[in-house]
Chains A and B, each alone.
Chain A
Amino acid sequence: MTVLAPAPRPAETPSRLGQVRNWLTNPKYGPVIVTAVLLVGMLVAGAFRYRGFTNPQVIANLFIDNAYLLVLAVGMTFVILTGGIDLSVGAVLAMSTMITASLLQSGWSPGVIIPLVLVLTSFLGLLVGLMIHYFQIQPFIATLAAMFLARGLCYVISNTTISIVDPVFVALAQTRIPILPRLSITPSVIIAIFVVAAAVFVLHYTRLGRTVYAIGGSEQSGVLMGLPVARTKVLVYVISGFCSGLAGVLYSFYTLSGYALTAIGTELDAIAAVVIGGTLLTGGYGFVLGSVLGVLVLGTIQTLITFDGNLTSWWTRIFIGALLLVFIILQKVLTARRV
């Protein structure tokens, strides 16, 4: 049929600049591109400014130090893509480290503890998801409740630091896997990368993943299209719970201890990473790989400040705050002319 007037497609104007603008204002890709450019810019600036920054191990360390945050951000991406939010991830992470540390102390085997922790945190996510869907509680409130619950349970277990001396954990914490001469990573990085890969697969190659995007686009339409909206909405909180548990395990590899006050505010880091990574807080647009970029941006800020040496680590927070603000405004500006 030729009667349909084609929708005006700016892509048809051949101007190079117009095309760039078109990509940037696309709510799907624009913010991710900006984040990638920013990350590269920061790394290049660091390389010029600080000696030793060009060492590839600096990049590897970004992954090593932020493996747990990568896993958290993956779970958070699922939740935010549906238009929800999960404030409980930091506290659940802490709970996971506490359970791990205290059970190890009482002599349980790591082979039992790790699966148990993952099941427990997934179950907590399930409860939260059911609460949100069936009682129509705001995700903000439901996960806030879960946050207090998890943090409280940490203190029930112990209010002091529990060290981990289990040989398996110590080995996992200290193992360095060489990938190039003078370049090595930890097992945690491999786990985190595996989680990221799995998330990319689920989001882009399974119906579950497509339904996540559909819910973020319009829950009502998703229902009318016959998609399993209820199941999926609950499932994203289970995924987030699982990721928080796993992040807790990675965190205990990293710190070799469990502590009730650990990772306070980490949920906000995860949210910041996801948003800086280009996922719209209203849902429907975003990529897991964007969130990975977001985590790396946060990590790079931290690294730059460490290299500088003159700034206290609190400047990290200030930069992240400023960056977040810029990105939210950017999202608004870039997507405003569309719709």
Chain B
Amino acid sequence: MTEPQPAVSMEDITITFPGVKALDAVSFRMFPGEVHSLMGENGAGKSTLIKALTGVYRIDSGVITLGGEQVSFSGTADAQEAGISTVYQEVNLLTNLTVAENIMLGREPRRFGAIDWRATRKRAVELLERLHLDIDPNSRLGSHSLAVQQLIAIARATDFNARVLILDEPTSSLDADEVQELFRIIRELKADGVAILFVSHFLDQVYEISDRLTVLRNGALVGEYLTDEILRIELVQKMIGKELTVLDALERKTKAQTVDEDELVPYIRALGLSRKGSIEPIDLEVYEGEVVGLAGLLGSGRTELARILSGVDRADAGTLTVAGSSARFRTPRQAIHERVVYSSENRRSEGILDELTVRDNIALALQADRGWFRPIPKKRQNELAESYIQALNIRPANPDALLKHLSGGNQQKVLLARWLAIAPRLLILDEPTRGIDVGAKAEIQKLVSNLAENGMSVVYISAELEEVLRLSHRIAVMRDRRMVADIDNDDLITDDLLAIIADGAETEVVA
């Protein structure tokens, strides 16, 4: 049987960044009416390949053909013109405009040379309705949650009459029902003959929706497989390039040795800590060498609590005791002085500096702590960077690489290195493994538990309950901006935790 003509075919694509070979002669193809998953760890080159296909990056060598014709895009507009639309991992819409404007921007219907706003809104509503979204088209995009913004971005992408639709981590901020809704849309588009490129770290989703898989590793092609013909274990092995047993060892028993609370003082103790419009009064203690997991739904107050503990936001009421003496953090700087550090969930806007090098990013907190009049010698900075690159397995292992050229997982490791460099006593990690692949995730989890074993206190925030359960000694559950439970993690299972998160008031007694 002859194969149908691919909708897209990329042959021997190579892209080089300064100091990094992001893609090395990678070939990739997509057929009409198929969902094709692009698989690989962070830094494997998935995002780079997508950006090459959408005209964001110029390719150094190789050939892209679209429907049999060779194409060369000089920008994203070119690619969209050719029928390739994309929904990026970070929602790239405009929060200052309305929902309807965002969906239709650049394609507004016009009458007599003027934008026909009525038709524009009507079309926007049609597109939203196609996704069964009940959203006011005149509301400001910024007033919606990230999940809703993501769906709006998809609504926008489906209006291009796209031949190729690229969904880069579309499900990372959606809940289970929303994911099913998205899949329904994907299947509809698939039936219309659209070629869909799907990227997700969730293997279940990949197996549920995709027909074909392409695996990348370290910027090189590993192979193309039919989803039905490859077992999960094989797939994971191909992605991480290690024997699975290694990964298994990393994953298993990451929880650090339980500490004996009778002998230790809490490193930090919060009593009635609250902030108007942010969180209700909360009591929390974190002992030395203890990992406290903060669980709860998005918007339950997890991040808000972390921000107050670390001085990013000021508490209105309540007391804070750090290392036995009372403290009042007005700025993160004061908190850092007490060795309380916070790594934000917004890696891109509140964490990394993507125009600076790995070395600069790692040295940043230490330099700030020393004060600007005592610069860290270049040699010392290099040693620092080298040692963390090695310790945390940061790739590429080049202190001069710019952060923007690193994958999400590696950027996260750099962030961790930055804070570890100032020897924190309490490390508050907000969603450190979000959007990160299995390998890097296991490494970060392992690191956290090692740090705790060496006496560091950790507050670990994650939406992923398995992760919280695996790592924490104690779990504090947040709901509606209150702490509804503070329980020892002895034999808890996910269902227990889910029950508390869903219905905290009843289980509070149990806890």
Interface set of A (CB-CB < 8 Å, partner B): 1-7, 9, 26-28, 201, 204-207, 210-211, 213-214, 216-218, 220-228, 284-285, 338-339
* Cross-chain contact A221 with B93 (CB below 8 angstroms): yes
Say which residue of A26, A206, A220, A285 sits within 8 Å of B115 (CB atoms). A206
A5 CB contacts on chain B under 8 angstroms: 145
* Cross-chain contact B134 with A4 (CB below 8 angstroms): yes
Cβ of A83 to closest chain B Cβ, rounded Å: 11
Among B132-185, those with CB < 8 Å from A are 132-135, 139-140, 142-145, 147-148, 151, 156, 175, 177-178, 181
Cβ of A219 to closest chain B Cβ, rounded Å: 10
* Cross-chain contact A7 with B148 (CB below 8 angstroms): yes
Please encode chain B, from 59 to 99, with 1 for each CB lying within 8 Å of some chain A CB and 0 for all others.
Answer: 00000000000000001110111000010100011111100
The CA of A338 and the CA of B76, in the complex, are separated in Å by 31
Q: Given known contacts A221-B94, A223-B76, A225-B92, what 19 new A-B pairs fall within 8 Å (CB)?
A: A1-B131, A1-B132, A3-B181, A4-B147, A4-B178, A5-B145, A26-B140, A204-B115, A205-B117, A206-B114, A206-B115, A207-B108, A210-B106, A210-B108, A211-B105, A220-B92, A222-B94, A226-B77, A284-B94
* Cross-chain contact B94 with A1 (CB below 8 angstroms): no
The CA of A336 and the CA of B80, in the complex, are separated in Å by 36
* Cross-chain contact A213 with B97 (CB below 8 angstroms): yes
Name the residue on A nearest B144 (C-beta).
A7
A3-B177, A217-B95 known; A211+B106 contact, CB < 8 A: yes
* Cross-chain contact A210 with B105 (CB below 8 angstroms): yes
* Residue B101 is within 8 A (CB to CB) of chain A in the complex: yes
* Residue B56 is within 8 A (CB to CB) of chain A in the complex: yes
The CA of A225 and the CA of B56, in the complex, are separated in Å by 11
A27-B96, A226-B76 known; A1+B142 contact, CB < 8 A: no
The CA of A6 and the CA of B133, in the complex, are separated in Å by 10
A227-B105, A227-B106 known; A1+B181 contact, CB < 8 A: yes
* Cross-chain contact A225 with B106 (CB below 8 angstroms): yes
Cβ of B52 to closest chain A Cβ, rounded Å: 14
The CA of A289 and the CA of B108, in the complex, are separated in Å by 23
A26 CB contacts on chain B under 8 angstroms: 140
* Cross-chain contact B94 with A205 (CB below 8 angstroms): no
Best-buried of A2, A207, A284 by chain B (most CB within 10 Å): A207
Interface bin, chain B: 35 or more
A4 CB contacts on chain B under 8 angstroms: 133-135, 147-148, 151, 178
A213 CB contacts on chain B under 8 angstroms: 94, 96-97
Say which residue of B80, B117, B134, B135 sits within 8 Å of A226 (CB atoms). B80
* Cross-chain contact A1 with B133 (CB below 8 angstroms): yes
Name the residue on A nearest B81 (C-beta).
A226
B79 CB contacts on chain A under 8 angstroms: 226
Cβ of A283 to closest chain B Cβ, rounded Å: 8
A338 CB contacts on chain B under 8 angstroms: 142
The CA of A213 and the CA of B94, in the complex, are separated in Å by 9
- Give 5 nearest A-B pairs by CB, closest first: A217-B94, A284-B96, A3-B177, A205-B114, A217-B96
The CA of A204 and the CA of B120, in the complex, are separated in Å by 13
CB<8 Å pairs between A and B, sample of 25: A1-B132, A1-B177, A3-B175, A3-B177, A3-B178, A4-B148, A6-B134, A7-B145, A26-B140, A205-B115, A205-B117, A206-B114, A207-B106, A207-B108, A210-B106, A210-B115, A211-B106, A217-B94, A217-B95, A217-B96, A218-B94, A221-B94, A225-B106, A228-B77, A338-B142
The CA of A218 and the CA of B81, in the complex, are separated in Å by 21
B77 CB contacts on chain A under 8 angstroms: 226-228
* Cross-chain contact B94 with A214 (CB below 8 angstroms): yes
The CA of A223 and the CA of B134, in the complex, are separated in Å by 28
* Cross-chain contact A224 with B140 (CB below 8 angstroms): no
Say which residue of B92, B115, B181 sits within 8 Å of A207 (CB atoms). B115
A221 CB contacts on chain B under 8 angstroms: 92-94
B76 CB contacts on chain A under 8 angstroms: 223-226
B81 CB contacts on chain A under 8 angstroms: 226
Say which residue of A3, A227, A285 sits within 8 Å of B96 (CB atoms). A285
A221-B92, A221-B93, A224-B92 known; A28+B140 contact, CB < 8 A: yes
Please encode chain B, from 95 to 122, with 1 for each CB lying within 8 Å of some chain A CB and 0 for all others.
Answer: 1110001000110100001110100000
The CA of A183 and the CA of B88, in the complex, are separated in Å by 58
A213-B97, A221-B92, A221-B94 known; A1+B134 contact, CB < 8 A: yes
Name the residue on B nearest A1 (C-beta).
B132
Name the residue on B nearest A283 (C-beta).
B96
Cβ of B87 to closest chain A Cβ, rounded Å: 10
Cβ of B129 to closest chain A Cβ, rounded Å: 10
Cβ of A111 to closest chain B Cβ, rounded Å: 28
A228 CB contacts on chain B under 8 angstroms: 77
* Cross-chain contact A339 with B114 (CB below 8 angstroms): no
The CA of A96 and the CA of B92, in the complex, are separated in Å by 42
B93 CB contacts on chain A under 8 angstroms: 221, 225
The CA of A338 and the CA of B143, in the complex, are separated in Å by 9
Name the residue on A nearest B55 (C-beta).
A226
The CA of A214 and the CA of B92, in the complex, are separated in Å by 11
Say which residue of B75, B142, B145, B181 sits within 8 Å of A339 (CB atoms). B142
Best-buried of B56, B75, B106, B181 by chain A (most CB within 10 Å): B106
Name the residue on A nearest B106 (C-beta).
A227
The CA of A339 and the CA of B88, in the complex, are separated in Å by 21
Cβ of A339 to closest chain B Cβ, rounded Å: 7
Name the residue on B nearest A209 (C-beta).
B115
* Cross-chain contact A7 with B105 (CB below 8 angstroms): no
Name the residue on A nearest B114 (C-beta).
A205
The CA of A191 and the CA of B48, in the complex, are separated in Å by 51
The CA of A4 and the CA of B150, in the complex, are separated in Å by 12
Cβ of B164 to closest chain A Cβ, rounded Å: 14
The CA of A270 and the CA of B151, in the complex, are separated in Å by 41
Cβ of A169 to closest chain B Cβ, rounded Å: 33
A227 CB contacts on chain B under 8 angstroms: 77, 105-106
Cβ of B134 to closest chain A Cβ, rounded Å: 7
* Cross-chain contact A216 with B92 (CB below 8 angstroms): no
The CA of A9 and the CA of B135, in the complex, are separated in Å by 12
B95 CB contacts on chain A under 8 angstroms: 217-218
Cβ of B181 to closest chain A Cβ, rounded Å: 5
Name the residue on A nearest B117 (C-beta).
A205
The CA of A210 and the CA of B94, in the complex, are separated in Å by 11
The CA of A312 and the CA of B431, in the complex, are separated in Å by 61
A2 CB contacts on chain B under 8 angstroms: 134
A206-B115, A211-B106 known; A224+B94 contact, CB < 8 A: no
